[in-house]
Amino acid sequence: MEVDDLRGRHLMVPEQESPGEFQSFLDAHPELDVERTHRFYDMDTFNRCEQSGDLLLTLDAWSGVHPSLTTVPVRWDLRVPYGLLYAKRPDDRVRGFIAVVKRMLRRRPFNMNGDELLIYEYF
């Protein structure tokens, strides 16, 4: 799917914590009809997309999450940060794992083809 394929369509995208490359992309395409949704999608978001027929910008990891939705790859020169999500009050095993990841990042930043690993506390 190319950017031109989005013209005339309603596109749902997640709210972002801070402006970045994706916001610059949207700013460069003011003709797109964009709606900001929750920062993290939930089943209500997927159901709403299915019922309205709107497009939903998502990651490959979510393909198959809803039986009535199909994931279509886009051909945009754009990268989106991805990271770890965990509870604000994680159990000891999760805390230990996050501590190891943070130590590793201090020694050598984790990089996936130019993308940073972000760590979020959530819930």
Please write the tens of the pLDDT for every residue from 40-95.
888 899 999 999 999 998 887 788 888 999 888 888 877 766 677 788 888 999 99
The DSSP bridge pattern shows strands 33-37 and 10-14 to be: parallel
Which sequence spans correspond to the domains of the chain? 3-62, 82-122
For the entire predicted model, the pTM comes to: 0.63
Q: Residues 24-38: what's their mean pLDDT?
A: 88
**Do 37 and 14 contact (CB within 8 A), yes or no?**
yes
**Do 78 and 57 contact (CB within 8 A), yes or no?**
no
E-assigned strand segments in 3-114 = 10-14, 33-37, 55-56, 82-87, 111-112
Report the length, in residues, of the chain: 123
Q: What is the pLDDT of residue 47?
A: 93
Rounded to an integer, what distance in angstroms lies between the CA atom of residue 38 and that of residue 53?
A: 18
